[in-house]
Amino acid sequence: MVRVGIALGSNLGDRHAHLRAAIAGLRELAAPGEPVLTAAIYQTAPRNCPPGSPEFLNSVIEIGFTGGPRELLAHTRALEHALGRGSAAERNAPRVIDIDLLYFGDVQMADATLTLPHPCLGQRRFVLQPLADIRPLLVLPGQSLSVAELLARLPAQAT
């Protein structure tokens, strides 16, 4: 069993309902008896999205998981699809739900489909802030600073 951090975002439709449904789906994937940590929900401006994109609601959840990274990725993609996320023609287009694996225990990997820890995690306030709510002292693989320290180093205007 490994602890896994997962980012959630929604900027279309009933954003709160989409996040609640994603959290419920991820709870079903959690190892039985293991704690599920869920951060607060933050409203954030769209970043690197098409002009006119609506604001996001973002959160982070951490679960215990007994399978491997690719298995969890398949589950999260299936959950996105089940919750109504279609394939967008435009990169970073508005979406009903976005589920990203942030870290998978101490695993470090990078290939065409999955990079762990998430390569942009340390530069994204919309991920670091909720992650700091639940795991402020966590030091991610390949890092020397805790999540709280990474967050504190972000410029004030960083989203």
The answer as to whether 133 is a domain residue is yes
Helix, strand, coil content of the chain in percent (nearest 5): 30, 25, 45
- Measured distance between the N- and C-terminal CA atoms of the chain, rounded to whole angstroms: 32
The answer as to whether 13 is a domain residue is yes
Q: 58 with 8: CB under 8 angstroms? A: yes
Q: 45 with 55: CB under 8 angstroms? A: yes
Q: pLDDT tens digits, residue range 119-156?
A: 989 889 999 999 999 999 999 999 999 999 999 999 87
Whichever domain contains 113, its CATH number is 3.30.70.560
The answer as to whether 142 is a domain residue is yes
Tell me the whole-structure pTM to 2 decimals. Answer: 0.94
Question: How do beta strands 56-65 and 98-104 pair?
Answer: unpaired
Q: What is the residue range of 45's domain?
A: 2-153
Domain count, the chain: 1
The answer as to whether 98 is a domain residue is yes
Whether 158 shows a pLDDT value over 90: the answer reads no
The answer as to whether 159 is a domain residue is no
Confidence of residue 47 (pLDDT cuts 50, 70, 90): confident
